[in-house]
Amino acid sequence: MTRYPRDMRGYGPNPPDAAWPGGAKVAVSIVLNYEEGGENNILHGDAASEAFLSDINGAGMWPGQRHWNMESIYEYGARAGFWRLHRLFTEMGIPLTIYGVATALARNPEQVAGMQAAGWEIASHGLKWVEHKDMPEAEERAQIAEAFRLHTEVVGTPPKGWYTGRCSANTVRLTAETAQLDWISDTYDDDLPYWLEMDGRDQLVIPYTLEANDMRFATSPGYIEGEQFFQYLKDSLDTLYREGAEGRAKMFSIGLHNRLIGRPGKMAGLKRFLDYARAKGGVWFATRGEIAAHWAAHHPHRRIERPSQMSQARFTERYGAIYEHSPWIAERAWALELGPAHDCAEGVASVLARIFRTASEAERLGVLTAHPDLAGKLAQARRLTTESTAEQASAGLDALSDPERATFEALNAEYVGKFGFPFIIAVKDNTKATILDAFRRRIGQDRAREFAEACRQVERIAWHRLQDQF
């Protein structure tokens, strides 16, 4: 038995409509990352200077040295970029969520006061703006606790949202374990918020973005002018807006950095987008905290019994009858690599079918012969399984006239006599007339082709039964 933890399924083919306030087609969440003063720097006790997200082409870390140019670029973000953005967003009345590195907030009191005066949400961006991928779990847990402490000391209230950014494989779990956060954003895997089940706690995740993000001004390939940033944001909004108009409203995250978008030529593209989005109408500009509150109120989590988390006994009990009188298929399927992708009808159908397809011919023949004749003696004696009874009734095979019953009995006898197993067809895909047509056509096939067709029909019947269960 193996269990695969990654969730490739998400909401599947039918995501919920977000039902944003006022019937908005899109919720736009704009995030301003405040990292200036929290980046790698030997002044901060780090081993080397910063090398990430600046206008220095091909920057590398300088071990044991201060990188004056890098520091100066980060300082521009605090000294000039932040206040340019502060004026833009306060004048337009558009709310922001701040991802605030705790040590950076502590070193920038005027900017924190400006955030608070504007009524912006200040979430945590971790203790320091450094890589966590190689950080031992105990150290990262301690840094998270210290970030909470320092953030509360500097801002006056503890953070209710979190984004580490340069995270480890443990970050989401460790931050959720604090049980103090309304939302976490260290994922990029959806256009909607979703819930994670973390032991006894249901943790809301609001995915973030690395593409609708001004960091692309500092990466290759990326944006080289404000117009490109505007066009990408506009195209994204228009696409999401159309989906919202069709009843599938989503969220649009936009990521900003003071030292990047705060430059005049870059910010011009952002201003054009904000003007466009506001004039379009049907757009809800919201903080991530507001999105979290809406989601918790309108889309609360509902825990379900998940196939990937069942014991073998429970899995077999639940799905052992999907293949007629063949619980061994479910018993074997439980040992496959199951995960969140299998917590749905298609997922269980897939693993059951894999076992059936790879079984020996004798075993598959046993499954075929376990099926009853259509409208046969077992049906008349009411000795079919519950599933078979419902299926045959759906095509009217439980209410045949005497001539129709005689026709089915004759065809059954001829078919079994030729192939050695009963005629099998997914009756839910058919009518009484199409079943008879298929009966007459398939009797003329050779055994190998008919064996393969019967197996396909068994899988289709199983699929229908699982659709009914889910």
Residues annotated as part of the active site: 371
Q: What are phi and psi of 85, to 5 degrees?
A: -70, -35
DSSP 16: P
Q: What are phi and psi of 294, to 5 degrees?
A: -65, -45
Closest by CA to 57, choosing from 295, 265, 220, is 220
Return the biggest CA–CA distance within the chain. Answer: 95
End-to-end CA distance of the chain: 23
Q: Are 16 and 299 in contact (CB under 8 A)?
A: yes
- For 387, other C-beta atoms within 10 Å of its C-beta total 17
ω into 307 cis (within 30 of 0): no
* Positive or negative: CA dihedral 14, 20, 24, 28: negative
Helix and strand element counts for the chain (H, E): 19, 11
- What's the CA gap between 270 and 169, in Å, rounded? 33
DSSP states along 303-362:
----GGGS-HHHHHHHHTTSSTT-HHHHHHHTTSEE-GGGSSHHHHHHHHHHHHHHS-HH
Q: Are 356 and 364 in contact (CB under 8 A)?
A: yes
Compute CA 237 distance to the chain's CA centroid, rounded to the nearest angstrom.
Answer: 20
Q: Are 138 and 101 in contact (CB under 8 A)?
A: no
Name beta bridge partners: 26: 250, 283
- What's the CA gap between 263 and 58, in Å, rounded? 20
